[in-house]
Amino acid sequence: MSQPRLPRLYNELAYLWPIISPPSNYEDEAEVWRNTIKDKLGQGRHRVLELGVGGGHNLSHLTEDFQATAIDLSPRMLDLSKKLNPGVEHHLGDMRSLRLEETFDAVLIHDAIAYMVTEDDLAATFETAKLHLRAGGLLIIAPDWVRETFRAPMVFHWVRNGKSNGGDIQVTIQEYLHDPDTSDTEIESVFTYTIVEDGQERIEQDTHTTGLFSMATWTRLLEEKGFQVETVRLPLNEGGYSGFLFVAELS
Ligand SMILES: C[S@@+](CC[C@H](N)C(=O)[O-])C[C@H]1O[C@@H](n2cnc3c(N)ncnc32)[C@H](O)[C@@H]1O
């Protein structure tokens, strides 16, 4: 298992996350997650575990309906989620090796799944999910891309205004998403953040290495762990990412 490498956005630049990708952006998508959980598991305040919760933005729209526990590899992202989701139990952990010794009705993995860059990473994460689910439990995963929807290179760019330490902040984000080596399962996003804070402008760069797998690979790896797999389309998100959910039931 390779050592996890945290991008700067989840380290010293984590304070930018709520500005770059505010919780309100996740409202429509979270509705699909909520409806999917209720359709599959019925009504009730189900116990859910989110792996790679990040700032907890997607989760913040689900805590009214479900009892949540959340983990992340980054202490700073975990702190953001704790502040936003005070009723949620939080733990520091790696989704590939976490062992909480308890089971849940559903395990949720949002875009954090992107940081699984090999089939072994995915298989280890699905094992974690399986060990934390009751029989008949649900695993829901939302990869940003699969091989079939990915076209390289792509450029995304957006501007955000917000508050940081009580002062105004503007962040212009440019993402250059490309595939430096088409023979492996890794792709790369090079982010440039132009930050105007307290009247001062500065530029920061950050590289995120993420995984890319075909639908057939996703399905095979999930089935090998005993899941039955369906896919559900998500509304197009603001950045232009076209996503869907893998909805996997543990037999
Ligand atoms: C894009 S952020 C998630 C944002 C989240 N969906 C939200 O709503 O705020 C990706 C997160 O994945 C986490 N992550 C990356 N690799 C991980 C791993 N192996 N185990 C747990 N978390 C991981 C990062 O620390 C980061 O917080």
Selected from 3.40.50.300, 3.40.309.10, 3.20.20.70, 3.40.50.150, the CATH number assigned to the domain covering 8-146+212-250 reads 3.40.50.150
> What residue ranges do the domains of the chain occupy?
8-146+212-250, 148-211
Nearest CA to ligand 1 atom 16: 115
Q: Average of pLDDT values for 79-105?
A: 98
State the alpha helices, DSSP H only, in the chain.
17-20, 27-41, 75-84, 119-131, 215-224
The predicted pLDDT at position 238 comes to 57
| Cβ of 61 less than 6 Å from ligand 1 | no
**Three-class DSSP category at 165:** coil
Q: Average of pLDDT values for 162-174?
A: 94
Kindly state the tokens that stand for 3: 């050592």
Q: Average of pLDDT values for 137-157?
A: 94
Count of CB atoms situated within 10 Å of the CB of 142: 22
| Cβ of 52 less than 6 Å from ligand 1 | yes
**Confidence tier at 149 by pLDDT (50, 70, 90):** confident
The partner residues of 194 in beta bridges, in order of sequence, read: 172, 203
Q: Average of pLDDT values for 160-179?
A: 95
| Cβ of 85 less than 6 Å from ligand 1 | no
Over its C-alpha atoms, the chain yields an Rg (Å, rounded) of 18
Tell me the HSE value of 159 on the side-chain side, using a 13 A CA sphere. Answer: 2
Strand (E) or helix (H) holding 36: helix 27-41
- From the CA of 250, how far away is ligand 1's center (Å)? 23
Kindly state the tokens that stand for 82: 């704790």
